[in-house]
Chains A and B, each alone.
Chain A
Amino acid sequence: MSDSNRPVLEVENLHTVIATQRGTFDVVDQVSFRLEAGETLGIVGESGSGKSMTGLSLLGLVPKPAASVVGGRVLLDGEDLRSKSEAELRQVRGRKISMILQDPQTSLNPAFTIGNQLLEALQVHERDSRQSLRQRAIQALRQVRVAAPERRVHDYPHQMSGGMKQRVVGAIAISCAPRVIIADEPTTSLDVTIQAQYLKLLEDLQRETGLALIFITHDFGIVARICQHLLVMYAGRIVEAGPVREIFNRPSHPYTRALLASVPTVERKVDRLPSIEGQPPPLHDLPKGCRFAPRCGFAETRCHEAYPGHSAGRSGHPRHIVNCWRAEEI
């Protein structure tokens, strides 16, 4: 395999558990995927699906001591992050892989100017004169389309709108030119028109820098808008994965199908949306077989007894896979 088509990030059998008063449970289980430069991967799921935990597990940032990553490999440019010490990981975080969280309010420190926060992020990884780091901070703000960055570096977070703050968080994330950014619901707190601007910005940045993006969301609209690949997670596991277009055209897992059908669209009026009965299972009471089986209209005996393995998705695309016993029949 030549260097050029080696994936930036390759995750194999990621396994994260969380200890609670009721015992220890899998929050992320058998999660594998690959991500190439310039690609955007969406991870879609509901609360408790493990989508956010997957993001945190990649960076070794799961909430300790309750949660811990207990298995799998996370290869970033061929290096396994799981075998690195905490000190080595700190060198990787921010410089090679960084993260944008949902709420810009909590990502920024209210006591410092945004210029200072950018400088701090840069200083962790770069040895350079203060003057040139300052220039790079301003450059990062310019990249995220903050107007008049020379003046805005002196602003405090409370002087900015939510959308602007999220841009600053983005500027911090890209300041050290990482290879991968994990964005966990970064637009959930933004207004519709501001969200559209932000998604456009991320796309532009990607085109300019060849950044790979992991976009964690509950919203299929965002996936349709900016992702090329998709993982659908349910109760800690991947139920379906593949290119976005193939999954939207031929959703193969009953959960994906039902979920896609149940989202109302702005493009046309539907008389009645189909809905999925029941609710996602609690972590401490996962079904023995397929985790969606209790809510699935197609479930049969074997679905309740054992977890299904991979099979090809209905699109026939080589990267489209689905974890369903009845994938071929339905």
Chain B
Amino acid sequence: MGDAAPLLEVRELTRHFRVGKAQVRAVDGVSFAVAPGDTLALVGESGCGKTTTARLILQLDEPTAGEIRLDGRDLRQLDRAGLRQFRNDVQAVFQDPWSSLNPRMRVREIVAETLICNQRLGRKELDRQVDAALTAVGLRPDHARNYPHEFSGGQRQRVAIASALISRPRLLVLDEPVSALDVSIRSQIMNLFKDLQAEFGMSYVIVAHDLGTTRYMADQIAVMYLGRIVEIGPSEEIFEAPKHPYTKALLAAALPSHPDTPHDREELAGEIPSPLEPPPGCHFHPRCPAFIGPVCETDYPDLDPVEGAGARRVACHLYRGAAVG
């Protein structure tokens, strides 16, 4: 991730929620960067903060602390014109195409929404761009007249993608973009994302719980647990040789692709702790099979580069002695 000029840069991003008297640290000091044309996947289980992180990037929610920079510009300091440009530059595709398309709007208006809100275009130009966006996602221009309920799930997701594409964004945030779709439709949509990325050079931030999907789509992955990144780096390196005990456990828990794939790897015990009361020290220590001692219970390990692990950074005391830099 050492590219000179990342498109998206997230630094010490933090979001705390109040729940009664308690405080949930949904996102707790998360930093990463996404290079132009690159795909970063945020993976983890419920309560890990991946969805909150995505919402913060989309400015659907405000961070408690930390900063988000797009092209080096801090989002908090955007003026009106800058914010408008941000809305053109950053778009999203959500999980459930039944919920993400307004049932009372025609496809034309759904797809054109970003342009309607941010650019003053004539009707002709708007129609031309809607046609182009629908065509790009494999729909027909005359679909613009229809309402969402006239489409199947896969087609609806294509409509959602068309609407995200129309402003020529540079970053797409994809929140579980295929998990609500039928199995035979998923690879169509995943391939569409790949083709669009090749064509338009967009960056993606994907939130996904399915590791197969993640491996297929991502260049970089960030594994999150209870609000923090525990391991981050190039996807292939992590899938081939996970370092953090949680990453290892997550990969071991993934379902096999063939009945003969051995699965007698160590099974992770216990449940995910409530984010209301994350364990002290390393949040993972109560479940950790590699627990090394009191330090795990008291100190949260830094996310540091690890020797022999390439461009990767891992937050685990196991590698502390071997830390470089």
Residues of A at under 8 Å CB distance from B? 46-47, 161-164, 191-197, 200, 218-225, 244-245, 248, 255, 258-259, 262-270, 272-277, 279-280
| Residue contact B257 to A224, C-beta cutoff 8 Å | yes
Which of B184, B251, B255 contacts A279 (CB under 8 A)? B184
Contacts of A248 in B (CB 8 A): 258-259
Which of A245, A264, A280 contacts B212 (CB under 8 A)? A264
Q: Report the Cα distance A273→B260, complex, angstroms.
A: 21
Q: Report the Cα distance A163→B268, complex, angstroms.
A: 13
Closest to A258 in B: B184
Known: A196-B253, A269-B216. A224 touches B259 (CB 8 A): yes
Number of residues from B at the complex interface, CB < 8 A: 46
| Residue contact B253 to A192, C-beta cutoff 8 Å | yes
| Residue contact A47 to B182, C-beta cutoff 8 Å | yes
Contacts of A277 in B (CB 8 A): 188
Q: Which 5 A-B pairs have the closest CB atoms?
A: A221-B255, A196-B253, A264-B216, A265-B257, A191-B45
| Residue contact B188 to A275, C-beta cutoff 8 Å | yes
Some 29 contacts from A to B, beta carbons below 8 A apart, are A46-B182, A46-B184, A161-B272, A164-B271, A192-B253, A193-B268, A194-B272, A195-B255, A196-B253, A197-B269, A218-B182, A219-B183, A221-B254, A224-B258, A225-B255, A245-B259, A255-B184, A262-B184, A263-B212, A263-B257, A264-B213, A265-B212, A265-B257, A266-B215, A266-B254, A266-B255, A272-B191, A275-B184, A279-B154
Q: Report the Cα distance A46→B184, complex, angstroms.
A: 8
| Residue contact B256 to A221, C-beta cutoff 8 Å | yes
Minimum Cβ distance to chain B for residue A320 (Å):
14
Q: Report the Cα distance A263→B256, complex, angstroms.
A: 11
Closest to A196 in B: B253
| Residue contact B45 to A266, C-beta cutoff 8 Å | no
| Residue contact A280 to B255, C-beta cutoff 8 Å | no
Q: Is B298 an interface residue (CB 8 A)?
A: no
Prevailing SS type, chain B contact patch: helix
Known: A163-B271, A192-B45, A193-B253. A266 touches B182 (CB 8 A): no
Contacts of A225 in B (CB 8 A): 255-256, 259, 263
| Residue contact B271 to A262, C-beta cutoff 8 Å | no
| Residue contact B187 to A264, C-beta cutoff 8 Å | yes
| Residue contact B186 to A262, C-beta cutoff 8 Å | yes
| Residue contact B216 to A270, C-beta cutoff 8 Å | yes
| Residue contact B259 to A244, C-beta cutoff 8 Å | yes
Q: Report the Cα distance A265→B155, complex, angstroms.
A: 24
Residues of B at under 8 Å CB distance from A? 45-46, 152-155, 182-188, 190-191, 194, 209-216, 235-236, 239, 249-261, 263, 267-269, 271-272
Closest to B274 in A: A161
Q: Report the Cα distance A197→B267, complex, angstroms.
A: 7
Contacts of A220 in B (CB 8 A): 183, 257
Contacts of A273 in B (CB 8 A): 187, 190-191, 216
| Residue contact B182 to A280, C-beta cutoff 8 Å | yes
Q: Report the Cα distance A40→B4, complex, angstroms.
A: 54
| Residue contact A224 to B261, C-beta cutoff 8 Å | yes
Minimum Cβ distance to chain A for residue B271 (Å):
5
Closest to A218 in B: B183
Contacts of B194 in A (CB 8 A): 272
Q: Report the Cα distance A277→B154, complex, angstroms.
A: 11
Q: Report the Cα distance A46→B236, complex, angstroms.
A: 30
| Residue contact A266 to B46, C-beta cutoff 8 Å | no
Which of A47, A221, A255, A276 contacts B188 (CB under 8 A)? A276
Which of A164, A244, A267, A270 contacts B261 (CB under 8 A)? A267
Minimum Cβ distance to chain A for residue B138 (Å):
10
Contacts of A269 in B (CB 8 A): 215-216, 235-236, 239
Closest to A163 in B: B271
Which of A193, A219, A223, A263 contacts B250 (CB under 8 A)? A193
Contacts of A219 in B (CB 8 A): 183, 255
Known: A224-B255, A262-B183, A279-B154. A192 touches B271 (CB 8 A): no
Contacts of B252 in A (CB 8 A): 196
| Residue contact A279 to B185, C-beta cutoff 8 Å | yes
What would 9 more interface pairs be, CB under 8 Å, given A268-B215, A272-B191? A161-B272, A219-B183, A221-B256, A262-B186, A263-B212, A265-B215, A265-B257, A266-B255, A279-B153
Known: A191-B272, A262-B186. A275 touches B259 (CB 8 A): no
Contacts of B209 in A (CB 8 A): 191-192
Closest to B186 in A: A262
Closest to B235 in A: A269
Minimum Cβ distance to chain B for residue A206 (Å):
16
| Residue contact A221 to B267, C-beta cutoff 8 Å | no
Minimum Cβ distance to chain A for residue B64 (Å):
25
